[in-house]
Every structure is written in C-alpha cells, then in structure tokens.
Amino acid sequence: CVCVCVGTCFAYFAGTTSPHDQRTILTSCQPPFFLFETQSQIPISLNWFNPQGERIISNQRVVLHTEGVRSRLTIYNAIIEDAGIYRCQAVDAKGQTQEATVVLEIYQKLTFREVKTPQEFRQGEDAEVVCDVISSPSASKCTLILKKRVARVLPNNNLQILKVAKEDEGVYRCEARVEARGEIDFRDIVVVVNVPPVLSVPKESFNATADYQESVTFTCITSGSPDPEVTWLRKGREIERSEQYVLSTLEGGKSTLTIKNIKQGDGGPYTCRASNKAGSKESEILLKVFVQPHITHLRNVTAVEGSAAMISCTAEGEPLPEISWRRASDGQTFSHGDKSQDGRVEVQGRHGKSMLTISGVRLSDWGRFDCEALSRIGGHQKSMFLDIEYAPKFQINHTIFYSWEGNPVNISCDVMSNPPATMLWRRDRFTISNEGTSNTRIHTAEGRSLLEVTPMSDRDFGRYNCTARNNIGARYQEFILAQADVPSNPYSVRFASVSQRIATVTFMKPDSHGGVPIGYYIVNYKDQSSQEWRTVKSHGVQTMVLLTNLEPNTTYEVRVAAVNGKGQGEYSHTETFQTLPIRK
C-alpha cells in the first residue's frame, strides 16, 4: 500500500497466522503536502510523532528517512498496536510550525485461532463446539453449518448442541466472513460423541469344586463408544493373563475370563470393569468354591487305664463338614451330642471339629476308631488307634510249683502289660540276677519270665517273688516252690472181667499226686500161696490193667501203687479174686 499522505493510510497484511509474522511495510510520506515551498519557507526540521504523541526516533523496525523537505516513515513488520494517528511536524526558521496527520489503520486477516478437530463430547451433555476466530474489523458472522441437526450458535460464535447424542456425530463447518473485504474462510470440525460403557453379565454366580482341575468362564458383555476396554479385577488388582487365567475378547463386545484348575483360594467376588473416554462401569461375579472334606488332624492316642482319653478330629472343606465317629469294636457310631449307653463315651463338636471323650478308660476300649467328615459334596474317612497303657497284670493263679531235690522246675511268671514290663525275681530280699546262680536260671520272653530252679536242699524250697514293672506301675506275685511227695494210695481196686487165664483190674487214682503228676501205676499180683509179687505197669496213667497168663481156678491177691517223679506211693488195700475153673 503506497499512500500519498492525504488522509488515511491502510495496511493490509497478507500473513496467515499471527500479525507478528507479517512482513508488510507501511509507507508513509511527506513534505509537498505541507506546502512549505509555496510559503517559501524551508523547514529546518521535520519530526514525526506516534499515536501516543511521542517523537519517533529511528530504530530497527521504525525507520525515518528525511531528505531535504521530504521525510518518510517506514514501519516494518507492522503490528496491530502500530495503528493510530501519526503526526508530522515541520518547523521553519522563524520558529513557525505546521502539522499534518496521517491515520494508520491495520486490518487483521481472518484467523481461526482455536479450531480443534476432532472435538469430543460425552453423550447426554450439552456440547459446545468451539470455533474461535479473530479478524479486524471483526468477522461479520461465524456460522456453523450443521450436518444433521439444528443447534444454537452462541454469542461467542461457538455452537451449542444440547444433550448431544451419538447421532449428532459428524463433520460441522464453521464459516467466517469479513464482508468489508469480501474475505471468507471456514474450518471443518469433526464432532465425536463418546458413549459411556454399558455392561451386562449374563451369569452372576458360579459354583465349582476345588482340586478337580475344574475351570469356569465368566462372561461380560459391553457396549459404548469408543469400544470400552475390559479389565478383570480380583481384590482390587487387575488380573493378568497367566497359566491360570485366560482372558479373551470376542465379537459383539463379549469378554471372557477363564479360571483354570480351580483351588480353594479362588473363591470370592471378581469384577469386570469396562472403561473408555466417557467413563467406566463395573459388575461383580461371584465364584463359590466348594472343597471336598479333608481330615487334617487325627492322631493315635495312648491313654492310661482308668484315666480319660480325648480323641480329636479336625477336618477342612467348603462347606465345613460335620464329623461322626465309629467304634470299630462294635460298629457303634457317635456324632455331636451322642453318649454311649454306659455314659463313658461322649462326642462334642460341630463344623469341622469334633472331640470324642472316653472317661474311665478300660482295656476293652482299645482299638480302632474311624473319624468321618461329611459334607454335601463328599466325605473323607480316617482311622486312629486308641492304645491303652496299664500296669502289669499277672495272668496265672498257679502259684505253687512242686519239685524235689535234684529235679529242675520252671516257675512261670506270666504278665500282661502295656508298655511291656521288665520282670525280676527275688528270693527274700535278694534279687536273682538274670545270669542266675549255681542252681537257678532265668529264661525271659515277652510277657513271661521263667525261673528254672534245681533244688539242692530244703533251703531252695519256699517263696519266690516275681516283680513286673513298666512306666505305669509295678506289681508282684509270690510263688511257692514246694517239696513234692509221693502220691497217696490208689483205691477201689476191682476186677472187671475175670476168666480162666485173664483178668482186668480197675482202680481209682489216688487223692493226692504229691504235687507232681503221676507218671504211671504199678499193679502187683500173686498166687495166694506164693510169696513172690509179679508186677505189671499201667499204660501211662490208665487206671486199668490187664493181667494175663493166670492159672485157672486159682485165688490171686492184687495191690496197686502210683508212681510220680518223686517216687512210688503207698499200695492200696490188697484185694483177691479167683479165676474160673476149666470146664469139662
């Protein structure tokens, strides 16, 4: 724009974005206008004043060029602030001044200052599509040409769409015009409407059994714009893909979480979270994990006879199992609150814990007890043994043993005890060592101790003491080693059948066998007229003897004696019988 300085000077910037970038020169001009020459006055100075009234001094951007009666003001890179009235003052030799002014107007090109595209909104909110345009003089009207639906243009030229909907999405055009210059420009703005996620869960609760390699798959269906991202959470932490967790996204907004190899600890709530720019939504899915009953604690118990035994059984599982007991000895079962008929056995405890109490434990309580844990989904059984400890008990009442000098005899001490007892023998106050003595030996086996005594004199007969001891207690039993005697006499000698040459003799065994068993009987017989006894031995302890080779028609005398280890006893009464005569 070259102005000859009468009146107004326009500057027009062809720049594009900011006025500061514009490289346009404003040229102003002078003298002839002042008509200095016509007044024959040569000005001695020519000064310029800016719109603020300050005298202009040349600098890099604002340059004064004076040549004779002509002065030129050049403004490089003009800015809006340079607009205003510039004054040119001429002073002549007489000190007279003359002035002229020039008006500098600066127009700004139409500029879209903040036209972001795309512009995003949340469905349902009142959207304000921003189209900030500057120009000078100001653009006549910024209009937005709506793609689909009529909306309201606000005084600040922004476009307002009330309760924006997904259908409002699209391209909107913002057009600005400076009619004075015929300038027109537009911007296309993409309006994006984001829709917060909507989430649905087809199945909210799942059942599974632990430790059966079971899997469950949760499904979460989402929609929204942009497509929501689905995350799965457990206890507030995001679940990541792993050996156990399989995450997948299917068509139609379906997302799944598969939990493999379910364990007890996997039970509880899981969260499906869908989120996008417009918001997030959550839904909970519950996994109920059942666990088979499992007995975790059942021990063998040892109780002391007469005391109380407490047997506890603990089981885990989901739901917690109920516990019952079975006594193997008679098959009787007990559960919470049950008592045995005699009141000694009692069971208390529910929900995975039970205690079986036996008071006044007896040896008959010994044996196996089965604990069974049972829940809706299964059962588990385990057995334990109740062992009963007791002080030694002597097994035999046979406390008198017989022998005779030189005859070894085993005195047997039989004991039942738990735990096994140690046994020792005593005579008077002296302990007989296990090595024995010259005439005693000790043979020990479990539950039995044999004291083998070979009596040498009267002193070896008498009382012997067997003491049995375990950690429960000690007991003793006295044994008597008695001198054996010969048996007393047999009696009731009879003749069962008598013929010419043969007779059968029967008799009763003696009242006393002398302390040791009878070995056999001796039967003496002779012809009444003879002096010599003939002898027949019984077969073992048979109380019947057959006499043969007798003379017919003869009277015989018979007597019987018993023999034991000690020797032969007294004879019975002598009896007589007669053999039959020979018939003619």
Residue 382 interacts with ligand NAG (CB under 6 A): yes or no: no
Two tokens, residue 411? 């005195």
Q: Characterize the bridge pairing of strands 301-304 and 378-394.
A: parallel
> Which region among 177-185, 248-256, 348-356, 403-411 touches ligand NAG (by CB under 6 A)?
403-411
Closest CA to 132 of 174, 180, 179, 168: 174
Instruction: Please tell me the count of residues contacting ligand NAG according to CB under 6 A.
Output: 20
Residue 366 interacts with ligand NAG (CB under 6 A): yes or no: no
Residue 148 interacts with ligand NAG (CB under 6 A): yes or no: no
d(CA 406, CA 320): 74
Cβ closest to ligand NAG, residue 294 vs residue 501? 294
Q: Which residues contact 85 (CB under 8 A, 6 or more apart)?
A: 51, 101, 102, 103, 104
- Nearest distance, CB of residue 149 and ligand NAG, angstroms: 47
> Which region among 56-64, 187-195, 405-413, 516-524 touches ligand NAG (by CB under 6 A)?
405-413
Residue 130 interacts with ligand NAG (CB under 6 A): yes or no: no
- Nearest distance, CB of residue 291 and ligand NAG, angstroms: 13
Provide DSSP, 74-99: EESS--GGG-EEEEEEEEETTS-EEE
Cβ contact 508:575 at 8 Å: no
Residue 300 interacts with ligand NAG (CB under 6 A): yes or no: yes
Provide DSSP, 149-205: S--EEPTTS-EEETT--GGG-EEEEEEEEETTTTEEEEEEEEEEEEEEEEEE-S--E
SS3 146: coil
Cβ closest to ligand NAG, residue 427 vs residue 559? 427
Q: How many CB atoms lie within 10 A of CB 52?
A: 6
Question: Residues 8, 329, 410, 576: which binds ligand NAG (CB under 6 A)?
Answer: 410
Distance set, CA 305 to CA 83, 359, 411, 469, 554 (Å) = 120, 10, 29, 15, 73
Backbone torsion region of residue 538, taken as left when φ is above 0, otherwise alpha when ψ lies between -120 and 50, otherwise beta: beta
Cβ closest to ligand NAG, residue 121 vs residue 425? 425
Cβ closest to ligand NAG, residue 168 vs residue 365? 365
- Nearest distance, CB of residue 326 and ligand NAG, angstroms: 16
Residue 194 interacts with ligand NAG (CB under 6 A): yes or no: no
Q: How many CB atoms lie within 10 A of CB 582?
A: 9
- Nearest distance, CB of residue 370 and ligand NAG, angstroms: 13
Determine which helix (DSSP H) or strand (DSSP E) holds 371, and give its type and residue range.
strand 367-375
Q: For every residue of 375-389, which 3-state class applies, written as one string?
A: ECCEEEEEEEEEEEE
Q: Is the dihedral of CA 53, 25, 19, 62 positive or negative?
A: negative
- Nearest distance, CB of residue 397 and ligand NAG, angstroms: 4
Give the N- to C-terminal CA distance of the chain in Å, as an integer.
199
- Nearest distance, CB of residue 451 and ligand NAG, angstroms: 9
Residue 354 interacts with ligand NAG (CB under 6 A): yes or no: no
Cβ closest to ligand NAG, residue 218 vs residue 232? 218
Residue 205 interacts with ligand NAG (CB under 6 A): yes or no: yes
Mask of contacts with ligand NAG, 422-461, x by CB under 6 A? ----x-x--------------x------x-x---------
d(CA 97, CA 99): 7
> Which region among 32-40, 93-101, 201-209, 336-344 touches ligand NAG (by CB under 6 A)?
201-209
Q: Which residues face 205 on adjacent strands?
A: 286
Cβ closest to ligand NAG, residue 72 vs residue 426? 426
Cβ contact 305:390 at 8 Å: yes
> Which region among 202-210, 241-249, 329-337, 491-499 touches ligand NAG (by CB under 6 A)?
202-210
Question: Residues 12, 245, 385, 520: which binds ligand NAG (CB under 6 A)?
Answer: 385
Q: How many CB atoms lie within 10 A of CB 455?
A: 21
d(CA 367, CA 345): 14
d(CA 308, CA 444): 33
> Which region among 61-69, 267-275, 351-359, 402-410 touches ligand NAG (by CB under 6 A)?
402-410
- Nearest distance, CB of residue 352 and ligand NAG, angstroms: 18
Cβ closest to ligand NAG, residue 75 vs residue 481? 481
> Which region among 84-92, 204-212, 241-249, 354-362 touches ligand NAG (by CB under 6 A)?
204-212
Distance set, CA 237 to CA 178, 232, 280 (Å) = 58, 8, 16
- Nearest distance, CB of residue 157 and ligand NAG, angstroms: 59
Cβ closest to ligand NAG, residue 514 vs residue 565? 565
Cβ closest to ligand NAG, residue 108 vs residue 418? 418
Closest CA to 287 of 264, 270, 304: 270
Residue 163 interacts with ligand NAG (CB under 6 A): yes or no: no
Residue 312 interacts with ligand NAG (CB under 6 A): yes or no: no
- Nearest distance, CB of residue 576 and ligand NAG, angstroms: 42
Question: Residues 32, 367, 408, 552: which binds ligand NAG (CB under 6 A)?
Answer: 408
d(CA 405, CA 483): 8
Mask of contacts with ligand NAG, 464-493, x by CB under 6 A? -x----------x-x---------------
- Helices (H) and strands (E) counted in the chain, each on its own, are 0, 47
Q: Which residues contact 353 (CB under 8 A, 6 or more apart)?
A: 312, 313, 314, 315, 323
Determine which helix (DSSP H) or strand (DSSP E) holds 292, and give its type and residue range.
strand 279-298
- Nearest distance, CB of residue 450 and ligand NAG, angstroms: 5
- Nearest distance, CB of residue 208 and ligand NAG, angstroms: 9
Question: Residues 8, 45, 207, 329: which binds ligand NAG (CB under 6 A)?
Answer: 207
- Nearest distance, CB of residue 313 and ligand NAG, angstroms: 13
Residue 395 interacts with ligand NAG (CB under 6 A): yes or no: yes
Q: Which residues face 504 on adjacent strands?
A: 497, 546
The binding site for ligand NAG (CB under 6 A) comprises 205-207, 288, 300, 385, 395, 397, 408-410, 426, 428, 443, 450, 452, 463, 465, 476, 478
